[in-house]
Structure formats: C-alpha cells, structure tokens
Structure 1
Amino acid sequence: MHGRPRKPQRAADATASTAKASKLKDLQSQLIHNHHLRLYTDEAISVSSKLLQINPEINTAWNYRKFAFQQKNLHEATNSEHIKSLVDGELRVVEMALRENPKSYWAWYHRKWILSQGLADVDFDREFLLLDQLLKDDSRNFHGWNYRRFVSKLKDVPELKELEYSEHMVMNNFSNYSVWHNRSVLLSGLLNNKAEGFIEREGILTKEYGLVHDALAAGSKVQSGWLYHLCLLHQTITPNEISLISSWPPHESALVLSANRDTGYFFVNTQKLPIVLYFNQTVKGVNPSSVIVNSMLFKNEGLVWKPLPPTKSEKAACWVTYLQFPDMESWEAKIYVIEVKIDHSEAIISSCSGSQSMHPLNFRFTLSLNCDNLEFAESVDELLDWTDVGSLGVESNDLVRFLVK
C-alpha cells in the first residue's frame, strides 16, 4: 500500500490465517443460508457483522444488511429513536469493517447508502472525525477523499472552504495525488458553475499555477504535481463555447459508393450511411431541429441522432445518425452534395457548464455511385449487398468499419 513494505509471514501467522479462513468459511455458509431464507433476526444479522469484521469485501453480506435494514425499518421501527438506533448500528458495522480495510469499496458505499436514506439526522461531527482519523493514517486514501466530498455536499459545506482545506493538505505533502485530485474536482466545479469569486478564470488559474509551481520546485519528480499541472492546462485551453472538432464524413470529402471491394472506391454492405459529429465537450440537444442535413437523397425530418456510446442520459461528445439510402434505381450518374448545418446552435447545450454554442457550424461532402458494372446486373440491388443490420450494436460495428476506411 503506497510503498509500505510487507513483512514476511511467520509460522504463527500461518496458523492464525488457517484458523481465520476456517471461521470465515463457516460464517459465509451461515450468511448464505440466512440470505436465502430471508432471515432477518438479530442473531442472523450478527452473523453478517462478524463476517464483515473479518472480510469487508464480501458484497453479498452488505446487500443482505441492506435488505435486513429495510425490513426492520419498514415493519419493526416504531419511532424515530428506534430508527436512529438502526442507522447507528449500520454505521458502527462500517467503522469496524474500515478498521480491517480502510479502502473497502463496499464498506464506503454502504455508509453512503445509509446516510442517503435520510431516515435520521446525520452526526456530521462524527463523520468528519472518522475522516480525520482515516486520512491521518493514510492521507492518500482516495475513498476517504471521495467520502469527504459526499459528506461536505450533504452538509452544504461551501466548496471554497473545502478548496482551502485541500490547499492545507497539499502544503503538508506535495506528493499526495489524492488531495491534488480532490482539489481538481473542486476547482472544476467552481469554475464551471461560475461561483462567486471564480468568474474570472485567468486570475484563479494564475494562482493555481503558482501553487503547483511551488510543489514542483520542491521536487520536480513529484508526479502528482505534474498531473495537476496537466489539469490546469486543460482548464486553460478548453473554451467555454461548444465547437465541432471533428466529423465523419470529413468536410469536403468525396465518397464514391462501389459494388466491388477491389475498385478502391467506398464499399457499402448496408443500406445506411453514418454521419458522425464529435464536439469538444459533452452536449445534449442534438436532434433534427438543431442539426439539419440537406440533400436531394435524404429527408432531414426522419433522422434520429444517437449518442456514442449509447447512454440513457442523452448526453455525449460524440453523436451519430444513419442516412437511409433511397431506391438506387432512380440514382443518376452525378455527384450529390450533402450538407450538414447547425444553424440553431442555441439548442445544443453543454451538459457540464450549461453554455450554448454561439457560432453556426457546418460541413459538406459529396456522394456518387460507381456505375462501371451496372450493365452486367439486372438491378443495383444485385450489385450492392444491402444487409439490414437492424440493431444499434451492429450499426456501431459498421461505424467502426466506416471510420477506418
């Protein structure tokens, strides 16, 4: 753990480990039995407590305790004092688990889950005391820093106050990556939300550059300082305005569809052509109203824009739509121009800062059909393999194939 040497195991330690493993196996069997039968008696719950005190990494035990907590809270809790005793009991189990492993994901998550239920007033003095003790033992425990942000938000502690605390911790140890990361999260939030005193980015970033310069001057090989410096560079060069940094097909590109893989032209094996937009930040609001595709071949109104990778939040930096090819028997031997315009740019909004794109964005490309072999076939459909892929997963694979051409 962070360069701490491991001690060689002695014979007595090996014997103790064997006994511990045997006890652990017995407790696990009892837990599975109780979980399967949905036994939530005090005796059954105590089995999970003993198990987690030995090994906090057994997620099933934490899930069992959640079910037990809900059962007792919904059906047995009669007053606020009883509920508070249930909450305190869960918090004590977490604390015992953290003594065994201060970096147990499941233990920290369970503590967050309990407090997030909002069933009892949070003893913030107790929470911050726990954090002070754990971070004193290991100030690089990123679980502790994540939990501190959670508790601070729960208590409505001003982010500026937490930023000042992180500066104090940085000055104690310049090589503490976890506190640098915590500071970067706080700083990004204050800048993006344009909090009071953080509207003028230049002055704030100049101060931060000074702080990291002091850290690097104390030890130029401090990797965490360089990583924070990289974060500051990102904050410096990333514009607030949304911009289109890449697209496919590229601007002014000329696509020639071919029925022959060996012609060197663009071979298509689906009846769909993707258009990909890649913005400089995560955005929402990409739809046929905000992005207009003009062409004689396709209708803009029926297009569906999807985030890549697929996400329920409908927020992404990369977006794709598929142009459905019309009946190619009606195609003429000419070049078709396809233009993509983002005229109503105020509809596309940054999901981070809430800012809107201020400048119209557009690109264009051309599309034509290589008709060299049409005379040898009864129809174009015989030449081109129109495989209807149907699902988004396969469409994504097609997209990769398009992009690597």
Structure 2
Amino acid sequence: MFRAHEWMVAFRYLKVRSNEGFVTLVALFSLLGIAIGVMVLIVTMSVMNGFREELLSKVIGFNGHMLYQPVGGRMNDYDDAVAHLKKVDHVVKVLPIVEGHALATFGSYSVPALVRGVKPEDIRHMPLIADNIKVGDLNDFGTGDNDILIGKRLADKYGLSPGDLVTLVTPRGRVTPFGTVPRIANYQIRAIFEVGEYNYDTGYFFLPLKAAQSYFQYDDQVAALEISLTHPDMITELYPVVQQAMREISPGGRLVDWRVLNQSFFNALQVERNVMFIILSFIILVAVFNIISTMIMMVKNKTRDVAILRTMGVTSASIMRIFFIVGSCIGMVGTLLGTICGLAIAYNVQEILNFIERMTGLSLWEGEVRFLSEVPAIVEPTEVTIVILVSLGMSFFATLLPAWRAAKVDPVKSLRYE
C-alpha cells in the first residue's frame, strides 16, 4: 500500500531540523501527550481491576458464594443439609455458621465486633484465613472452649498477642425480673490473621461453632449455611440447582448469592471503572488535537516541497500517504512508549508507591480509608489491546484532514514566485 519513496520522504520530514524547531517541539509534545494518556489509562484500569478482584476475593473468602438463611433465622439438622449440598456438582464447601454482633473489650479499650462461629476444621480449610496466620497456631484453635481468632490490625493497634483475653459483651442475655442482663464471656486469643482488608482485620472475631452457639444461645442450631462453588462466575447456572437442593431438605428458606449481597458495591465499582476509562480517554484526545495542529503546521512549511514533488510526477494520493505516515508515526511511537511505561508501572505499582513514600515521608495509601493494605494491580491483555487500538485509531483519524490538505496543494500557485 505504501511505496518506498513515500516512506523515505516521510522519514525525512520526521527528522529534527534547526529551521523547523517549533514544529518539532509541538510534535514532541504531541508524542508525549499520547504516551502519557496511554500510560495513565493502562495504569488506572489495571489498578481498578486489581481493586475489584482483591475485594471480590476478600468478600467471597469470608462470606462464600451463596448464603442460605432458614426461616426464623435458625436451622436444625444442619449436618444433613451440608452433606446433601456437597453432593451437588461444583459445590466445593458448605459451612454452617452462627453470627452476631457484640462489644469486644480488652483492658480499658472497647470496639464493636462481628463475631462468627465456625467449626475449627472448616476454618482450617479457608485459605484466606489458614494461609494468612501471622502470629500463633491455627491448630490450637478449637482445643479449648474459650478460643478466639482476631485480625492483625486490631492486635497491632491495641498491643494484643496470643494468650491475651478478650471479653465479649452482647445485650442478648438472660431475662431477669430486673430486666435483661447482658451476656459476658472471656475468650483467649489463639492466633492472629491478616487478610489485607481493613474491615476484616479489625472487626471480625472467630469463635468455634460450639462456643458461638452457647454464647448467642443457639443451642444446637445455626444461623445460616455458606456455600462455595468452584468459581464465583458459576452462580448463574448453579443458583437454581442449589435452590432446588435446599428446598428438598429445608423448604421456605432464602438463598442469596454474592452479587445480591454486594450488588450496590460492585455495581458502583463497575460504573466508576467505565467512567474513568471515558474520562482518561480525553487525555489521548487532547494529544490527538496536538497531532492535528502539528500536521497542519508541517503541511504549511512543506508547501514548496509538496509542489516540487507534484511537478516531479508524484500523485495527490501519494502525497496524502506521505503525510499520513508522518502523523501515524507520531501516534504509534507515542502509543508504544505509553504502553511500555504503563505496563512497567502497573506491574510495579506497589514498589513505586513504597519508594515515593520513603523519599517524601508521606503516607500515600491508607488502609483505613481504602480497605486494602496494598495497591492491587491486574493487567488485562484485552483492556490493554483496547487502549492501544483507541489510541492508534484516534491518531490515524487525526492525520486524515492535514494529509488531505497536503494532497490538495496546487503546485502552480505554490511555485509561482519561486
């Protein structure tokens, strides 16, 4: 499509010349503008992908893919229900749980606590907990009647360690002639976990299921069943199957999945991700306008050269292709440079952030505000490809008008006074 002499002339026009310094400077700014736009877009989309995946893994790691809530909030014969559900294809784990709110006190400090009762053998098969024990031994959990697990951020904040006592206070206590007496119980810390999500590392407390049943007065009942599948994306096809299985053993209950439990949160993330892509694409668009202005100035400066080429027999179509190559090269080099820098930053974003914090002494990422202890980033090849195609498409389109104007130069008028 493009001939050898067209490439040769185009590359000559791209060379830096002292008498065309301003045009060269504008072209350089156009190239850098596209590079910065592509880089920022790749980094931002990668961080948002990582943020969503990290939150999704933390939420599912704690709450499972589905939650079955029996009528009245209490369920008998839960062991039979667990065995029945495990026979369903792609159901990998079913946890009976007891959950309630309490006030946790240690020394002179008190914090709100979400207390969850889980079988000790089940919690040892929860990778999010079992693989992130920082202090203590998870095998000791459940050996006593007053064991408890807490998060590392809570332990660091209040100086807690395995062996220390935590007192739980709940208003759901004994009813006496003088009113309801709050229920108070002491538990010993067996291990400390850190999953990297601030709310979980500060507000969640785990008890053995039997201890939680006794504390929240559930007798031999549970509050719900957490169901985990092979993959969270299998919810759509497996939801009716699991629902039918639960109706066979416990009719009338309510089955909800992670999309419903966290619908507003993940929808907000998706909307924000799409909006950020559109907004940041305008950075590339601004750089594309710079390409247009650069090419128009170049065509103005090269009018005499174009006239000479036309008199030598070069066609209008060939002139148009020459200037199209010039503008496209600016867009392609800028896109390539931005892609390389964007990928380099996306794959090393946490190290770069740590370096900046060490150099400036500032805290740029607060886990208390952003829920995650580190900046996550996941590079999606499909999204990177879309960014590259958008940048190249805008760049190619921007060169059409200046190239068309160059092809319309009248050699007679241009050389009349030469």
What is the TM-score when the length of structure 2 is the normalising length? 0.22
Greater relative contact order (CA < 8 Å, ≥ 6 in sequence): 2
Larger strand fraction of residues:
2
What is the TM-score when the length of structure 1 is the normalising length? 0.22
Larger helix fraction of residues:
2
Larger radius of gyration: 2
